[in-house]
Every structure is written in structure tokens, then in C-alpha cells.
């Protein structure tokens, strides 16, 4: 997704405090079968702990009761009553135990009631705390064995977050329009599960029962719809791949559908009837997008599930294989020139950016929200790859550099681990400019394209951390890029190339001013069209130059760096 005013976490002070709260959070409440419905649906903030709530810490941590099991399968089976704005049903959760234990942690927002949690026919005890649900088993669950619980729940989800979380709305003609978008605030705002980033089910069934005449579009392949004879129809979808929690979605509306194909890939589009003609024109861009990303990374990741665009009233979200779209059927981003250099108006930002997440975000997923640049930095860089594929290298560089004014360089891109939260927006723009800098460091496009392709192929369908990315890039390039990654992702300042000229001697001295002592990075300097590469480090080096101070340039459109001259 693309966020414009997101909550931030992650100062050094905050990390220390988060750890302190984690220790407190290690002691969950004792089990009871009572549902505590007296708690506020809005997570209470812990005084003095930055912006992280106790709920953020319980949800973001991967403690004993999360790490003792591995998710295999969900069957989310729910009924939606648009009149009462009410959701009811169950999630069947299948998991393998990795350690012997008697307790696991699941999640469900306090605003929703737990009706019962069953192991077979046996009701289980549970304890709720700030969105976490600790489920206790009467006997030890054994490592290596597979178990399944049926988690029954009901209630009215509280609409929250920038995109609403779970929203009961109406379309302009008065039909119900019900949709979900819960990245950050969490899937547990509307359905129960293991709501974290590290562990994903291998596949998932989604059954949504809605009044006859409406259409539900969820993730995965459409399997069937069944008229239940009580005025409601159940829509069944099946996700053939791992899926992260926040991608799971439902979109219920008065949709009409049209279809296309790209080779073996089914492409299906769902829009309101009044938008059909506009959509048929605008969505032709989807094919070129898929072709571009397949060119760089390989096959579209979710062929068995197909590719879908689903109209919604908010701007859009990368819901896996069912990307939601609300970009006014116009190019640019909400009809603006998004990077301000005349290139954004050539294409539909939401189709390109959100679909780029199919490769980075959905197929490759960060294992902790702290490392979300793996979604957003890469998806933003994919925009530039799309531009390069369609319009060439010069326009791609121009497009990327148009992002510079949006970068703040005031907080680190990677934030505190084990706490639910969202890094600063620099993860998008600075993230993409950093990846473009890496390309210049590699300085060999054939190698760069192979590196990108192999990187994606190596980690597809996995949940990874930045360390995995760095290790892979170091191995493949046979370079030590760790200080470069660290400078851009773990410090606020970008590298500054310091230049000192001695025009009487005809020399220039240079070094990097950075936070990482072992930082070294080659950079192109001199005159455009005849750049020379210097291997600058944090120590001063001197070389001859015939260029005067004012003539001496640095290729700052290829490397995201500052330059000072004296």
C-alpha cells in the first residue's frame, strides 16, 4: 500500500522501552472461559512507551506461544449481515506443533466476541488480553503433530485505520459496499488467527455468506457459490499459496465482472456497473505491468489463483491475487503527477505499485513489520522498473529522482523488531533510491538484472528479514555491502561525499562522511558522459583533476548521496 500519514515507531529509546514492556508482556493472564467484553475496543496506550500500545507488543512479539507452532491452513467461514453490520462465523486454524506445549497465542480484537473455541468437540479455555487470545489445551500438544481448532466469533468490527479496517459502506447507487483493508491495524480487527508476519498458512479457504444479489471477491481462485435458501449465498474462494494475514480480504458489492488472459494467467476485473467502460479502458494497463515484472523477476507468483483488480472507494491495497483499486480510473496517483517530473501521468500508479507487491510483499514477505521496506522500498523500485521497461532508462532515473523531495531522512527505515508498527515513509522513497544506488555500485546492468531475478527466485513464497537480503547480495556480488545497507537502512543520514579542491596543485581530496566506520562505496565523479569511478572510503584520498571546483560533478542521480565542496 502507499501510506501518507502513518504511525511511526522506532527510536533507540523506544527499543529499550519496548524490550522492557516485552518482559512485562511475557506474563499473560490466567485462563478463563469468560469473555472480557468490558475492555475498550481501542487498544489502550501504555504511558511512557512511545506510540506502541500493549496490543502492539503482544501482537508484534514472536514469543513462546507463537513460536511453538507453525501455521498450515485457515478456513475462514463467515456470514455478513449488511443491515445489522454484523459478522459471525468461524476460522478453522490448522497448525503443527514445533514444541510440546499446552498453550498457543491467537489474536482477535477485543471489540469482537469469542463464541467458543473447539478442539474437535472439546471447548477450550482461553484468556484475552489487549487483542491477544491465549488458548489453553487440557492436555499437552506434541511437537510434530498437527492440530486443528475451530474459533467461533461474532460482532461488529470497529472501523479504524486509514482505510477503515472493515467498512460497511454504500455505493453511489445505494447498494451495500463492504470491504476490508487492515495492513498495520491487523487482520484480527475482523477475524481470528495468528496475526503476525513471520508465519503464514500454506493455503487458505475463504467462505463468505452474503445476501443474494451481491458479489464477494476474496483472494484466490473462485470455486463456487451456493444459494443457502435463506436469502443468503455463500461464495467460496481458495488460496493455493502462502498468504500473509493483512492480505486476506473480502470485497462485497454490486460488482460486474469482465475478464482477460495473459498466456495461462486468468485476469478478472470487478467494478461497479457505472464504471465498466472506464475500467475496460484503464485496466488494459494490467497486462503490460504483468509483462514488465515477469521480464525482471519471472512468472507472476499466483498463477493458480489468477490476477484480479477489484474496485473499492479507497486508493488501493496489495491484497494477494485480488488487488484493490480506487485510483479514479485515471493515470497518476489520485490524478496527481506523483513524482512531479511528468512521467507519473503516463500510467496508473495504483495498478503498477500495488501489483508490484505481488512479487515483493505477497510472494516475498518481511518476517517482521520492522523490515517492511522489503515490501515498500521494493514495490516503489518496481515502479521505476516498469518505467524503464516501457520508456527506457533515462525516464526511470528521472522518475526515481522525482522521489527525492519526499524523503525526510529523520528516522531509520528499519525500526524496532517484535513490536507491531509501521516504519516511516522513507521506507518507500529512500528505499527505492537506495536500491537504485546499489545498481550503480554493481555497475554492470547484465549482472544487476540477473541479481534481481535470482534474488526474487531465491526467496519467493518466503518470509525474510533484511539480513537475508544483505547476505544474498554480498554472496552474489562478492562485495561487502553490509555497511552500505546499514548506512541507508539503520541510520537516518545518507552518505555525504566530502570534496576538497586544491586548484593550485590540480588535485581533489575525497572521503565519505557516514555513521558506518567500515563504509566504502564507489561513486562516479568528474564530467557527465566521461565519469570516472573513485573508490571512496571514510579516509581522505587525493587524486589529480583538471576540473575546477565548479565543474567537478558527482552522479547524484545514480547514487543517492549528498556532496559538499570546499
Judged on CB neighbours under 10 Å (0-12, 13-18, 19+), 13 is exposed
Q: Which is nearer to Zn ion, 87 or 312 (CB)?
A: 312
Q: Which is nearer to Zn ion, 268 or 376 (CB)?
A: 376
- Smallest distance from Zn ion to CB 11, Å: 24
- Smallest distance from Zn ion to CB 1, Å: 5
- 1 counts as binding Zn ion under rule CB under 5 A: yes
Report the candidate in 355, 353, 354, 374 with the shortest Cα–Cα distance to residue 463: 374
- Smallest distance from Zn ion to CB 311, Å: 18
- Smallest distance from Zn ion to CB 486, Å: 23
Could you tell me which stretch among 69-77, 130-138, 370-378, 505-513 binds Zn ion (CB under 5 A)?
Answer: 370-378
Q: Which is nearer to Zn ion, 315 or 466 (CB)?
A: 315
Q: Which is nearer to Zn ion, 235 or 386 (CB)?
A: 386
**β-bridge mates for residue 542, sequence order:** 509
Place of cell 516503489: 380
Q: Which three cell numbers stand for residue 329?
A: 480510473
- 384 counts as binding Zn ion under rule CB under 5 A: no
Q: Which is nearer to Zn ion, 376 or 486 (CB)?
A: 376
Judged on CB neighbours under 10 Å (0-12, 13-18, 19+), 102 is middle
- Smallest distance from Zn ion to CB 405, Å: 19
Residue 256 Cα distances to 178, 259, 310, 389, 453, angstroms = 15, 10, 10, 32, 36
Q: Which is nearer to Zn ion, 46 or 317 (CB)?
A: 317
- Smallest distance from Zn ion to CB 355, Å: 10
- Report the alpha-carbon distance of residue 471 to residue 517 in Å, rounded: 19
Could you tell me which stretch among 14-22, 258-266, 375-383, 552-560 binds Zn ion (CB under 5 A)?
Answer: 375-383
Residue 349 Cα distances to 89, 226, 314, 425, 431, angstroms = 36, 36, 14, 17, 17
Interface residues for Zn ion in 57-86 (CB under 5 A)? none
| Strands 256-262 and 265-271, sheet pairing | antiparallel
Could you tell me which stretch among 127-135, 195-203, 294-302, 379-387 binds Zn ion (CB under 5 A)?
Answer: 379-387
237, 205 contact by CB (below 8 A): yes
**β-bridge mates for residue 203, sequence order:** 73
Pick the binder of Zn ion from 114, 312, 379, 536 (CB under 5 A): 379
Q: Which is nearer to Zn ion, 110 or 376 (CB)?
A: 376
Q: Which is nearer to Zn ion, 379 or 396 (CB)?
A: 379
- Smallest distance from Zn ion to CB 212, Å: 35
- Report the alpha-carbon distance of residue 68 to residue 54 in Å, rounded: 22
Could you tell me which stretch among 90-98, 302-310, 368-376, 481-489 binds Zn ion (CB under 5 A)?
Answer: 368-376
Biggest distance spanned by C-alpha atoms of the chain: 92
Q: Which is nearer to Zn ion, 71 or 379 (CB)?
A: 379
- Smallest distance from Zn ion to CB 77, Å: 29
Residue count (the chain): 566
- Smallest distance from Zn ion to CB 376, Å: 5
250, 323 contact by CB (below 8 A): no
Q: Which is nearer to Zn ion, 358 or 498 (CB)?
A: 358
Three-state SS for 241?
coil
- 525 counts as binding Zn ion under rule CB under 5 A: no
Q: How many residues bind Zn ion (CB under 5 A)?
A: 3
- Segment (H or E) for 477: helix 466-477
Residue 326-365 contact track with Zn ion, rule CB under 5 A, x = bound: ----------------------------------------
| Strands 323-325 and 307-311, sheet pairing | parallel
Report the candidate in 484, 402, 406, 483 with the shortest Cα–Cα distance to residue 440: 484
136, 119 contact by CB (below 8 A): no
- Smallest distance from Zn ion to CB 428, Å: 7
Q: Which residues bind Zn ion (CB under 5 A)?
A: 1, 376, 379
Amino acid at each position: 500500500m502507499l501510506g501518507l500519514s502513518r504511525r511511526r515507531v522506532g527510536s533507540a529509546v523506544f527499543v529499550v522501552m519496548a524490550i522492557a514492556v516485552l518482559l512485562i508482556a511475557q506474563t499473560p493472564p490466567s485462563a478463563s472461559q469468560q469473555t472480557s467484553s468490558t475492555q475498550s475496543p481501542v487498544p489502550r496506550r501504555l504511558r511512557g512507551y512511545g506510540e506502541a500500545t500493549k496490543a502492539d507488543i503482544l501482537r508484534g512479539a514472536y514469543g513462546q506461544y507463537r513460536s511453538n507452532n507453525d501455521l498450515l491452513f485457515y478456513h475462514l467461514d463467515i456470514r455478513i449481515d449488511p443491515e445489522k453490520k454484523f459478522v459471525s462465523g468461524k476460522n478453522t486454524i490448522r497448525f503443527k506443533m514445533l514444541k510440546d506445549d499446552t498453550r498457543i497465542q491467537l489474536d482477535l480484537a477485543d471489540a469482537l466476541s469469542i463464541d467458543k473455541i473447539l478442539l474437535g468437540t472439546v471447548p477450550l479455555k482461553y484468556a484475552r488480553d489487549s487483542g491477544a487470545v491465549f488458548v489453553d489445551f487440557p492436555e499437552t500438544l506434541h511437537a510434530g503433530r498437527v492440530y486443528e481448532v475451530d474459533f467461533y466469533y461474532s460482532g461488529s468490527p470497529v472501523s479504524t485505520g486509514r482505510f477503515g479496517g472493515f467498512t460497511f459502506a454504500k455505493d453511489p447507487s445505494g447498494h451495500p459496499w463492504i470491504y476490508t483493508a487492515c495492513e498495520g491495524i491487523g487482520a484480527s480487527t475482523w477475524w481470528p488467527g495468528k496475526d503476525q508476519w513471520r508465519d503464514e498458512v500454506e493455503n487458505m479457504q475463504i467462505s463468505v455468506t452474503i445476501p443474494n444479489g451481491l458479489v464477494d471477491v476474496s483472494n484466490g481462485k473462485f470455486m463456487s457459490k451456493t444459494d443457502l435458501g435463506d436469502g443468503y449465498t455463500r461464495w467460496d474462494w481458495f488460496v493455493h499459496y502462502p498468504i500473509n494475514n493483512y492480505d486476506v480480504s473480502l470485497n462485497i458489492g454490486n460488482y460486474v465482472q469482465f475478464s482477460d488472459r495473459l498466456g495461462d494467467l486468468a485476469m478478472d476485473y470487478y467494478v461497479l456497473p457505472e464504471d465498466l467502460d472506464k475500467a475496460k479502458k484503464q485496466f488494459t494497463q494490467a497486462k503490460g505491468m504483468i509483462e514488465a515484472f515477469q521480464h525482471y523477476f519471472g512468472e507472476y507468483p499466483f498463477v493458480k489463483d489468477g490476477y484480479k483488480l477489484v474496485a473499492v472507494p479507497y486508493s488501493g491495497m496489495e491484497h494477494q491475487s485480488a488487488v484493490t483499486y480506487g485510483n479514479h480510473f485515471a493515470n497518476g496517483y489520485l490524478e496527481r503527477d506523483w513524482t512531479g517530473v511528468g512521467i507519473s501521468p503516463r500510467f496508473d500508479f495504483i495498478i503498477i505499485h500495488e501489483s508490484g507487491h505481488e512479487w515483493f510483499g505477497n510472494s516475498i514477505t518481511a518476517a517482521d513489520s520492522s523490515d517492511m521496506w522489503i515490501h515498500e522500498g521494493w514495490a516503489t523500485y518496481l515502479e521505476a522498473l516498469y518505467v524503464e521497461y516501457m520508456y527506457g532508462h533515462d525516464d526511470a532515473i528521472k522518475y526515481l529522482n522525482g522521489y527525492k523531495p519526499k524523503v525526510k531522512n529523520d528516522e531509520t527505515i528499519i525500526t524496532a523488531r517484535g513490536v507491531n508498527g509501521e516504519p516511516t515513509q522513507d521506507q518507500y522513497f529512500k528505499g527505492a533510491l537506495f536500491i537504485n544506488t546499489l545498481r550503480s555500485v554493481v555497475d554492470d546492468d547484465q549482472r544487476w538484472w540477473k541479481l534481481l531475478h535470482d534474488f526474487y527466485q531465491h526467496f519467493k513464497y518466503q518470509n525474510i528479514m533484511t539480513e537475508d537480503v544483505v547476505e544474498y547480495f554480498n554472496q552474489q556480488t562478492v562485495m561487502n555491502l553490509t555497511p552500505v545497507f546499514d548506512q541507508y537502512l539503520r541510520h537516518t543520514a545518507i552518505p555525504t561525499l566530502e570534496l576538497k579542491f586544491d586548484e593550485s596543485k590540480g588535485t581533489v581530496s575525497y572521503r565519505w562522511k557516514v555513521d558506518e566506520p567500515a563504509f566504502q562505496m564507489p561513486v562516479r565523479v568528474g564530467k557527465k558522459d566521461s565519469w570516472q569511478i573513485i573508490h571512496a572510503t571514510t579516509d581522505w584520498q587525493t587524486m589529480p583533476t583538471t576540473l575546477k571546483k565548479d565543474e567537478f560533478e558527482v552522479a547524484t542521480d545514480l547514487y543517492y548521496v549528498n556532496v559538499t565542496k570546499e
